[in-house]
Amino acid sequence: MDTLVKIEKVVKVYRVGDEDFTALHDISLNIEAGAFMSFVGPSGSGKTTLLNLMGGLDKPTSGNIFFENINLKDLNRTDLAEYRRKNLGFIFQTYNLLPVYSVYENVLFPLLLDGEKESAVRQKVLDLVEKVGLSDQVNKKPAHLSGGQCQRVAIARALVKQPSLILADEPTANLDAENSYQVLELMRDLNRQLKAAFVFSTHDEKVTKYVNREIGLEDGRIIWDKKRDGNGVLE
Amino acid sequence: MIRWILAGILRDKTRSLFPFLVVMLGVALVVYSVGFMEGVFMGMIDTTANLDTGHLRFVNKPFYDEEHLNPMDRALAAQKETGKWLRENSDPKVQWSPRIRWGAIIDVPDEKGETRSQTPMIGMALDLLSSDSTEIERLQLKNAIVQGELPKGPKEILLGDQLAETLDVKPGQTVTLIGQTFDGGLATDNYKVVGLVRFGVSAMDKKMGLIDLANAQDTFYMEDTVTDWLGFFPSHVPYTDYRKVSSELQSRLAGFREAPPQGWAKDDFPIVLSILDQRNMENMESMFKLVKKIIVGVFILLMILVLWNASLLNGIHRYGELGLLLALGQTHKKIVWMLGLEAFFIGLLGSLSGCLIGGAVVYYMQEVGINMGDAFVQTGMMVNDVMRGRVTLEGFLLGIGPGLVASIFGSLIASVAIFNRSEANLFRELEAG
């Protein structure tokens, strides 16, 4: 598999009051294209910070993050916005759907931001809505959907531009067990169909059953990096 | 994208209703204020023009220089020739009417022929008896008659109703005018009061009388002579055009002066004036423009302040949405542009609604008006008692412009905060909902 993201000796230090707080200590790892993996660990372990840095939302204090050989450190604010727009999809714990727009419109939105004409992408959006199992809800507003359905819309929105990397921060934290499993299965299916890499930050053990790779974080350090072997066991 | 933005505006009342109402109200007030001021100012111009100065005035300069003395001997002769020249050389939209300004003592006799009451008065002589006269319509004399009727024969006079009340005169009575002839002699003539008029201009209703032009020429020995030629534009011509037409005519006048009619005296030197050159109207116009600017400026400022505040609240209300836009890769500039576009649409909708409301009120004011006669009763202002608005394109433009500017500007000021928003905490902020 080709390397999609290369994280090289990354350190992230935050200034908290008069003191420095090191959120990530010398992290190095590679993420392959089409990966389906998670960062697990308790609060404050550095999971979200890592997603922030990979998403170009923040810059490391030292070290480098390469996305397809582009060093994110070299990109300015506008370039980073373009990097996110072209390459990334985001899924949030609280879905962050736009409440006044329908399911169809929420999924369409990233394409409109990219300057696409609705008529040209209408079928693409409807196909994706069908893929996430919401064809019969296409004109409903988020307020009329269940949590699981909202997260499906968020997944469709993240995937509509066919990005190569999806960053999902605690995607199942607001869902009950049944909905969590359904959403995880959906993401795994889409990962296989669309070949987009999914990277989760989570402390939900249910996610472990689905991912092919799990990286444990504690106090900003990698404490394990398990990959699923031929027998389906994470080692 | 525009459809997307419009859908958001229409569906999410919290982002659009308050700014929309602010813009609508502000624009309605601007349109109403400007329309009302335009109406009052144009009403003042038209009333002054009809009763006194015309929109244009062709007058002998020696007469104009001393008109407070009513120097009849400096009136301009060769009425027919002058009228012909004016009609051939001025803008075809202008209607020219000859008039004589006169002053006299009006004497009211008792049954024995002794003076019962007497007072100085001013008067205007104009064409009242010709079948093709436009003056009766222009001065709306049929509507202005409060008692009696219009003159139908020679030596009949219309008096202002307040003057008649002061003199205790009623239609049917005969009065004597005692004045000065064209060549400085004493002029006396009897006139029958046939009607009392009320123009709604206290200054006129207290002092003025109207007689036919030919009768005045006879009474004051002014054959083929008038003191003024007044030019009138149709009401749709804006007052800003008056000066231009006046200048054009003034430039042609040099040739007329070089080959003058035989009846003119050697030192006659007619000039062309627009109404804005007379009765301090230029200052009134400047003041009118200044007040208009102040009103529009104040409303823009107030709207910007309120809309700025509203946009800030909107920014807080939509904190998550704007964060999402950043996460999805929108640049800060693009987000500000989107908010500006949103503000433009809200401003446009608000402005158009405001124009409709303000315009409707101004239209009502234009057609019906408000009677302020009691307030003007003690003033000498040549203002019609009924204050009217005037629907003008400028009024709407002065409403729509500020409505849009305030809406967009208010939004842009509030949007400065977006430039300061860091992406580094977006995950946490968006997790917070």
Contact between A78 and B331 using a beta-carbon 8 Å cutoff? yes
Chain A residues touching chain B at CB-CB below 8 Å:
48, 51-52, 55-58, 77-78, 80-86, 88, 90, 92-94, 96, 98-101, 105, 109-110, 112-113, 115, 118, 169-170
Mutate which of B5, B328, B333, B335 to test chain A, going by most A C-beta atoms within 10 A?
A: B328
> Which one of B11, B334, B423 has the shortest CB-CB distance to A57?
B423
Do A101 and B332 make contact, defined as CB atoms within 8 angstroms?
no
What is the structure's pLDDT at B380?
A: 46
B284: exposed, middle or buried (C-beta count within 10 Å: 0-12, 13-18, 19+)?
middle
Cβ contact, residue pair B332, A77, below 8 Å: yes
Q: How many angstroms separate the CA of residue A85 from the nearest CA in chain B? A: 4
User: Which of A178, A112, A106 lies closest to A142, judged by CA?
Assistant: A106
Return the pLDDT at B384.
Answer: 61
10-residue mean pLDDT profile of chain A (235 residues): values are: 90 87 92 93 89 90 93 91 91 86 93 89 92 91 91 90 90 84 87 90 85 92 87 75
Tens digits of residue pLDDT in B311-330: 777 777 777 788 888 888 88
Residue with tokens 């009949």: B156
With beta carbons less than 8 A apart as the criterion, state whether B312 and B417 touch.
Answer: yes
Strand partners for B157: B193, B211
CA dist A108 and B372 (Å) reads 61
Contacts with B418 from chain A: Cβ below 8 Å: none
| pLDDT value at residue B410 | 81
For chain B, what is the mean pLDDT? 83
Contact indicator for A55, B327 with CB cutoff of 8 Å: yes
Say what the pLDDT of residue A205 is: 83
Instruction: Return the domain boundaries, chain B.
Output: 2-47+283-432, 56-232
Q: Please, which residues have CB within 8 angstroms of residue B100's CB and are 6 or more apart in sequence?
A: B75, B124, B125, B126, B213, B216, B217, B220, B222, B226, B227, B228
Closest Cα in chain B, distance from residue A31 (Å): 20
| Residue B361, pLDDT score | 92
Whether A113 sits inside 8 A of B332 (CB atoms) is no
- Chain B CA closest to residue A48: B427
- What pLDDT digit, counting tens, does each position of B163-211 carry? 999 989 999 999 998 988 887 888 888 999 999 988 777 777 888 899 9
Longest dimension (CA), chain A: 54
- How many helices, marked H, and strands, marked E, lie in chain A? 7, 10
Min distance A125 CA to chain B CA atoms (Å) = 15
SS3 A225: strand
Each residue's pLDDT expressed in tens, for chain B with a length of 433 residues:
788 888 888 888 887 888 899 889 988 988 888 888 888 888 778 888 887 888 888 888 888 888 777 777 887 777 888 788 888 888 888 888 889 888 889 998 888 888 888 999 988 888 888 888 888 888 788 888 889 998 898 899 999 999 999 989 999 999 998 988 887 888 888 999 999 988 777 777 888 899 998 888 888 888 888 888 899 988 777 777 888 888 888 888 787 777 777 777 777 788 888 888 887 778 888 888 898 888 888 888 888 888 788 777 777 777 778 888 888 888 888 888 888 898 899 989 999 999 999 999 989 988 887 776 565 554 444 556 667 777 888 888 888 888 888 888 888 887 777 777 777 677 666 665 4
**Residue where the block lists tokens 């400022």:** B301
CA B57, distance to chain mean position in Å, is: 17
pLDDT at B385: 61
- Using CA atoms, how far residue B146 sits from B50, B158, B197, in Å, is 19, 11, 6
Q: What is the pTM of this model?
A: 0.72
- Interface residues of B toward A, Cβ cutoff 8 Å, are 1, 3-4, 7-8, 11-12, 320-321, 323-332, 334, 423-424, 426-428, 430-433
What is the pLDDT at residue B374? 61
Among A95, A96, A69, residue whose Cα is nearest residue A83: A69
Q: How far apart are CA B234 and CA B245, in angstroms?
A: 13
Residue identified by tokens 């002058």 is: B82
Q: What angle do CA A27, A33, A37 make, to 5 degrees?
A: 60
Residue B3: its chain A contacts at CB < 8 A? 118
